[in-house]
Amino acid sequence: MKRIEAIRQVMKDVTDELVIATTGMISRELFVVRDRPQNFYMCGSMGCALPIGIGVAMSVDRPVIVLDGDGAALMSLGSLAVSKFLSLPNLTHYIIDNGTYASTGDQPTCSQAVDFEAIGHNVKLIRVESGNEHGTPRIPYEPEEMLSRFMGSIG
Ligand SMILES: Cc1ncc(C[n+]2csc(CCOP(=O)(O)OP(=O)(O)O)c2C)c(N)n1
């Protein structure tokens, strides 16, 4: 399965959930699959989708989805432990594991050696093939614009 198909699968049942997507092509493919104000694209800061998702899930009484990559999850393993410690009932942490840092050229990660589901909380691991879609556009929003539409969707 390709990464974009995994994102399509996750998004097909999403209604009012807040979705925080990790840096790189996962955010860009989410934008292509289904852009909506309830999506927050973490442009630039790899590893921060889960910490943001935890903060949002602690602050709102509605379901929160984090769409992470294996590379980003490895970068932020401590956040997985915090997530497990807090075990927030409204947080779902998808890790789309292609075994590489695909967004920057498919350099291999060490994800095979790590049991994300054991370390984190409510982790749904989806294994996909490596590589990127061709011609995926950049996200056109300025950070301030994206933040304000996301905060507006929270109300
Ligand atoms: C702190 C930091 N380090 C490195 C980068 C560059 N970078 C952006 S996306 C990415 C790869 C992300 O890999 P992964 O989370 O596994 O997702 P994939 O691209 O494989 O879907 C890297 C290294 C960055 N944006 N921030």
CATH code assigned at 54: 3.40.50.970
Q: How far is ligand 1, taken at its centre, from the CA of residue 148, in Å?
A: 24
Q: Find out whether 71 and 45 touch, Cβ atoms under 8 Å.
A: no
Query: How far, CA to CA in Å, does 54 sit from each of 50, 58, 61, 80?
Result: 6, 6, 12, 10
pLDDT of res. 155: 85
Query: 111 Cβ partners below 8 Å, 6+ apart?
Result: 70, 71, 73, 74, 97, 99
Query: How much is the average pLDDT of 110-139?
Result: 97
Model confidence over 30-52: pLDDT tens digits?
Answer: 999 999 999 999 999 999 999 99
Ligand 1: which residue has its CA nearest to atom 1? 46
Ligand 1: which residue has its CA nearest to atom 12? 101
Q: How far is ligand 1, taken at its centre, from the CA of residue 75, in Å?
A: 9
β-bridge pairing 39-41 and 100-101: unpaired
**In which band, very low, low, confident or very high, does the pLDDT at 122 lie, cut at 50, 70 and 90?**
very high
Q: What is the pTM of this model?
A: 0.97
Q: Find out whether 128 and 26 touch, Cβ atoms under 8 Å.
A: no
Ligand 1: which residue has its CA nearest to atom 5? 46
Q: Report how far residue 87's alpha carbon sits from residue 91's, in angstroms, rounded to the nearest whole number.
A: 8
Work out which ligand 1 atom sits closest to the CA atom of 45.
26
User: Crossing angle, helix 77-86 and helix 49-59, to 10 degrees?
Assistant: 20
Query: How much is the average pLDDT of 98-105?
Result: 98
Q: How far is ligand 1, taken at its centre, from the CA of residue 71, in Å?
A: 6
| Host domain of residue 74 | 3-154
Number of domains in the chain: 1
